[in-house]
Amino acid sequence: MAGNSQRRNRRTSNKKGATVGSGGQRRRGLEGKGPTPPAHMRKGHKKNRLANAQAKQSARRPAPRRGGPKGANELVVGRNSVVEALREGVPANTLYVQQFLDNDERVREALQLAAERGLNLMEAPRPELDRMTNGLHHQGLVLSVPPYDYAHPEDLTAAAFDDGEDPLIVALDGITDPRNLGAVVRSVSAFGGHGVVVPERRAAGMTASAWKTSAGTAARTPVARATNMTRTLEAYQKQGLMVVGLAADGDMELHELDALEGPVVIVVGSEGKGLSRLVGETCDFRVRIPMPGGAESLNAGVAAGVVLYEAARRRA
């Protein structure tokens, strides 16, 4: 018995440390460190240094940027409206079609145009379309138009200077009808202008209606949004642009204005109220369009077109 007790108490090994595995240390040591980060994120890499330098420069002077406040998608409702929007190239993303819809020529054309442009086609029950359109008479077709991607006012002058041209810009003050905005965009495109500036609030925006009126020219003529129109005009003046306001009681007539030959921004007010007080005071010149016929004022789109034509004629 004593011998058995001694054998039980006897140490069988003099080794120190763990004797059961490594606790996973060796396996973790063999694991990879993940994918190699891109060049601009690797410290010391040329692209990383360039990215850091650009970030510091952006912090000192914000670069021209695109975009204003993003809103919800706009809905174009009804067969005729949807077909017209698709014909004019309004930038849409989804066409909703009512389930079991009676097929007529407009429906077939809408489906064909949407397919040619690669739009999403979604079939939905009528109650769902009623809910989407708040009960409007959609006739089984609803087109979803994403929010317009507005430029920054500085983008317009930057593009002109990059091309070695004197900026020719139209600013709209108090224009609330999107069809007027679309007409101005069309005139700017026709006469070689560099873009349109609109206020961020209480003004027409680039809706589907404005796109249709522009007859597709909105795709190549940028529209910028100004948080404060007066400050935007002052910033243009610091860049060397003359600010010309159109007013029925202007100090000179259009043909007397030599500023149209150089960098200029033309400010058009509303048909009824004209230029707002602060914007009018910011203008370098207040110009009137002579109208022998005796009309008191012109539609904003027509007035902008007249001045843009005169500017293009002189520049040519």
Residue 211 three-state SS: helix
Q: Would the pTM of this model clear 0.75, i.e. be above it? A: no
- 40: exposed, middle or buried (C-beta count within 10 Å: 0-12, 13-18, 19+)? middle
* Nearest one of 150, 204, 209, 208 to 174, comparing CA atoms: 204
Between CA 171 and CA 246 the distance in angstroms is 11
Specify which residues 243 forms β-bridges with.
Answer: 265
Separation CA 116–CA 211 (nearest Å): 19
Task: List residues bridging with 151 in a β-sheet.
Answer: 224
pLDDT tens, the chain, 316 aa long: 455 544 555 555 555 555 555 555 555 555 555 566 666 566 666 566 666 655 554 443 333 334 444 567 889 999 998 998 898 888 899 999 999 888 899 999 999 999 999 999 999 999 999 999 998 899 999 999 998 889 999 999 999 999 999 999 999 998 999 999 999 999 999 999 999 999 998 888 998 889 888 888 888 899 999 999 999 999 999 999 999 999 888 889 998 999 999 999 999 988 777 888 999 999 999 998 988 766 667 888 899 999 999 999 998 8
> For tokens 């994918």, what's the residue?
35
At 25 the pLDDT is: 59
Angle between helices 300-315 and 178-190 (to 10 degrees): 10
* Four-CA torsion 61, 63, 69, 72, nearest 10 degrees: -150
Contact 37, 170 (CB under 8 A): no
Do the beta carbons of residue 268 and residue 254 sit within 8 Å?
A: no
Residue 226 phi/psi, 5-degree rounding, is -105, 125
Q: What is the pLDDT of residue 66?
A: 41
**Cβ contacts of 254 within 8 Å, gap of 6 or more:** 287, 288, 289, 290, 306, 307, 310
User: Which strand (E) or helix (H) includes residue 287?
Assistant: strand 285-288
